[in-house]
Structure 1
Amino acid sequence: MKILISADMEGATGVTWPADVLPGTPQWERCRAMFTSDVNAAVLGFLDGGADEVVVNEAHWTMRNLLLEQLDERVQMLTGRHKSLSMVEGVQHGDVDGIAFVGYHAGAGMEGVLAHTYLANSLTGVWLNGVRASEGLLNAHVVAEYGVPVVLVTGDDFACEDALGYAPSALKVAVKDHVSRYAAVCRTPGRTAADIRAAAAEAAKLAVRHEPVQGGPFTVEMEFDAEHLSMAATVVPGVTRTGERRAAYTSDTMYEGIRTFKAVTTVVSNAMEEQYG
């Protein structure tokens, strides 16, 4: 049994503030250890549950945040940016039996600690076929095309609630309870590690490949906080404006859909000018 862990940081234990996840800040250095603790707990749990191989794909920001030296020696970690499938890189090789979303969060425009979709701000909403979308929802549709089930989701309580929509059978572990976008009631790393490890061991039973799901076409609509960003998005082929601050595109598969979304967010992030966005 092979498990892939997609590891994001905003939904990690103790994280509530932008500086907690911004590479290079003192708070980021502190929170890296708690992020690594969450991921390592999932690794240990899956190994407890019978996994033969666990691979961690770093999915936050620069994708160079986890402390490799603190992970169990049996794991392998994919670190660094510019990967074909970004947050779920590795699922496309046909040998993954289940995937875990560790440290995930709610989407842009939703309630949740540090809620966003790919861009920290600027995107005020993303919809997939009319349904407001988080990174979890988008990624769940990608992995479904490869027959891989989402078996575990960890994050704040709103991330777990969001996961009920895209992975109802997956085990969920809330490591903190949302108070506001920048505040939460947090459990300690010792407690969350125990909770995640136990859930991952149980989630290993759900790691059974299924027939690939071809659910397309997929229409992704995005709303930005400034009109020039919707115009910038149209630089990407197939993307058209649907409103003053909105743009959309349609893809036959989510493989194409997530790659287009990555291209749009890359273009848009480079169209922002300092404080004015």
Structure 2
Amino acid sequence: MKILISADMEGATGVTWPEDVLPGASQWERCRGLLTSDVNAAVLGFYDGGADQVLINEAHSTMRNLLLERLDARVELLTGRHKNLSMVEGVQRGDVDGIAFLAYHTGAGAEGVLAHTYLANSITGVWLNGLPASEGTLNAHVVAEYGVPVILVTGDDLTCVDAAGYAPDAITVAVKDHVSRYAAVCRTPARTAADIRAAATEAAALAVRHEPVRGGPFTVEVEFDAEHLSLAAAVVPGVERSGERRVEYTSGTMYEGIRTFKAVTTVVSAAVEEQYG
């Protein structure tokens, strides 16, 4: 049994503030250890549950956050940027039986600790076939095309509620309870490690590959906080403006859909001005 862990950071134990997740910030250095603890707990649980291999894919920002030297010696770490499937890179190899979304968060425009979708700001909402979509939603549709179930999701309590919409069979662990975008009631690392390990042990039984799901076409709509960003996004082939601050595109598969979404966010991030957005 091979498990893929997609490790984001905003949903990690103790993380509540932008500097907790911004590479190079002093609090980021401290929170790297908290994220690594969460991931290690999941790794231990998956091996307890019968996994033979665990591959961890870094999924946050520069994708160089986990402390390799503190990880369980049995794992492999896929670290660094510019990967075909970004947050779920590795699922396309054909040997993954289940995937865990670790330290995830809710989507742009929703309540939740450090809620966003790909870009920390600028994007105010994302919809997939007319329904609000978080990163978890988008990624779950990608991995479904490879026959891989989402078996575990961790983050704040609202992230667990969100996960029920895109992975209703997954085991969820809330490591903190949302108070505001920048505040939460946090459990201690010792407690969350125990909770995550127990959940991962249980979740390992759900790691059973299924027939690939071909659910397309997929229409993705993205709303920005400024009109000029929709203009910038519309330079991406296939992307059209659907409103003053909105764009949309339709893809036959979510493999294509997530890659177009990456292109849109890359172009838009380059169009943001320091003072005026």
SS in 2 for 1:5: strand
- 1:183 maps to 183
**Once superposed, what is the RMSD of the aligned Cα atoms?**
0.3
SS in 1 for 2:74: coil
Q: Which runs of 5+ in 1 are unaligned?
A: none
- 2:89 maps to 89
- Please state how far the C-alpha of 1:276 moved relative to its aligned partner: 1.0
Question: After superposition, where does 1:160-239 map in structure 2 within 5 Å?
Answer: 160-239=160-239
Which one-letter code corresponds to 2:227 in the other structure?
E
- 1:273 maps to 273
Q: Which runs of 5+ in 2 are unaligned?
A: none
Which one-letter code corresponds to 2:264 in the other structure?
V
Which one-letter code corresponds to 1:170 in the other structure?
A
Which one-letter code corresponds to 1:168 in the other structure?
P
- 1:54 maps to 54
SS in 1 for 2:275: helix
Q: Which stretches of structure 1, 4 residues or more, deviate above 6 A after TM superposition?
A: none
Give per-residue Cα distances to partners, 1:12-57, cap 9 Å, x unaligned.
0000000000000110001100000000100110000000000000
SS in 2 for 1:127: strand
- 1:259 maps to 259
Give per-residue Cα distances to partners, 1:58-86, cap 9 Å, x unaligned.
00000000001111000000000000000
Q: Distance in 2 between matches of 1:77 and 1:214?
A: 29
The number of residues matched between the two structures is 277
- 1:155 maps to 155
SS in 2 for 1:210: coil
Q: Distance in 2 between matches of 1:222 and 1:124?
A: 8
* TM superposition score normalised by structure 1: 1.00
SS in 2 for 1:141: helix
Which one-letter code corresponds to 1:12 in the other structure?
A
Q: Distance in 2 between matches of 1:21 and 1:136?
A: 18
Which one-letter code corresponds to 2:32 in the other structure?
R
* TM superposition score normalised by structure 2: 1.00
Q: Distance in 2 between matches of 1:123 and 1:217?
A: 23
Question: After superposition, where does 1:17-32 map in structure 2 within 5 Å?
Answer: 17-32=17-32
Of all paired residues, the percent bearing the same amino acid is: 83
- Please state how far the C-alpha of 1:94 moved relative to its aligned partner: 0.7
- 1:245 maps to 245
- Please state how far the C-alpha of 1:275 moved relative to its aligned partner: 2.2
